[in-house]
Structure 1
Amino acid sequence: MKHKEKPQILKCPYCGRTAVLRKASDIYEKALDEYLYVCSGYPECNSYVGVHSGTFRSKGTLANGDLRHKRIEAHRIFDSIWKHKIMTKQNAYRWMQDIFSLTTDQAHIGLFSEYRCDCLILECRKVLENNHITFV
């Protein structure tokens, strides 16, 4: 990875420790050429977040297992809206911004709480049902 930027300084929202940049393969136990910000209290504190490829920019906030799974679920159903061509990807993000009164910077599932993920999942289900698409 070629970087001119410095790693971010992120604090764990669960235990307050500083996150450290680690290879994803240290956590996932498979050969991945990706990085994560991992709570320095890992594995006792199981919070981490992915990093955008080729950068030190986090994909959101550190999350424990429950929140990571909720964000994955929210992303899957949200992405199905534009993948089924109900809206373009850009319009789907604008729709998300509108229903939650978010700025462009705030409209990232990687920043969402479990509650906001649940709300997004509910709204996405409505859109899919209105378009006669069943999401499993």
Structure 2
Amino acid sequence: MKICCCACGEDVSARLTTGREIYPHRRDLSRLPFWKCDSCKNFVGCHHKTSKPPTPLGCIPTPEIKNARQQIHRVLDPIWKSKRMSRKQVYRAVADQLGKSTYHTAEIRSVEEARTVYRIVQELAQ
């Protein structure tokens, strides 16, 4: 499957593997599907709980982008979990600020884009 790899900067022929390879120390993840870029060794998880597995969760991030995405969710998730805004409203607000029709954290492709999203969600959290 061709998936955008942030480290390689292009669509790559990713290889489907399992958590046994990606997280050998995590038995609980051993059967989950992942797409891996064999050039840079980065990977992305799959929508394994949907009717169409193994659809990738998004593009293949670098470790820095993956960390940035996690930081965004630490701010973004409490907004909708507190019921101040619905999850759909939060994602719509982020998309509007970015000038996009939709937004999903898994589509962040650069650290710069992650910084922009982080600023937006920090403002929404206030």
Bin of the TM-score, shorter chain as denominator length: 0.7 to 0.9
- Please tell me whether the aligned partners of residues 35 and 43 of structure 2 are also in contact (alpha carbons under 8 angstroms): yes
For 1:128, the equivalent position in structure 2 comes to 125
- Please tell me whether the aligned partners of residues 71 and 114 of structure 1 are also in contact (alpha carbons under 8 angstroms): no
Q: Distance in 1 between matches of 2:57 and 2:91?
A: 16
User: Aligned residues, how many?
Assistant: 117
User: TM-score normalized by structure 1?
Assistant: 0.76
Q: Which runs of 5+ in 1 are unaligned?
A: 1-7, 130-136
| Counterpart pick for 2:43 among 32, 44, 48 | 48
- Please tell me whether the aligned partners of residues 58 and 107 of structure 2 are also in contact (alpha carbons under 8 angstroms): yes
| Counterpart pick for 2:106 among 103, 110, 128 | 110
Q: Distance in 2 between matches of 1:22 and 1:111?
A: 21
Q: Which runs of 5+ in 2 are unaligned?
A: none
The reply to whether residue 93 of structure 1 matches residue 91 of structure 2 is yes
Letter in 2 for 1:77: V
Q: Distance in 2 between matches of 1:123 and 1:14?
A: 24
What percentage of aligned pairs have identical amino acids? 24
Q: Secondary structure at the match of 1:56?
A: coil
RMSD of aligned C-alpha atoms? 1.7
Q: Distance in 1 between matches of 2:117 and 2:44?
A: 20
User: TM-score normalized by structure 2?
Assistant: 0.82
Please identify runs of 4+ aligned residues in structure 1 that moved more than 6 A.
Answer: none
Q: Distance in 2 between matches of 1:77 and 1:11?
A: 26
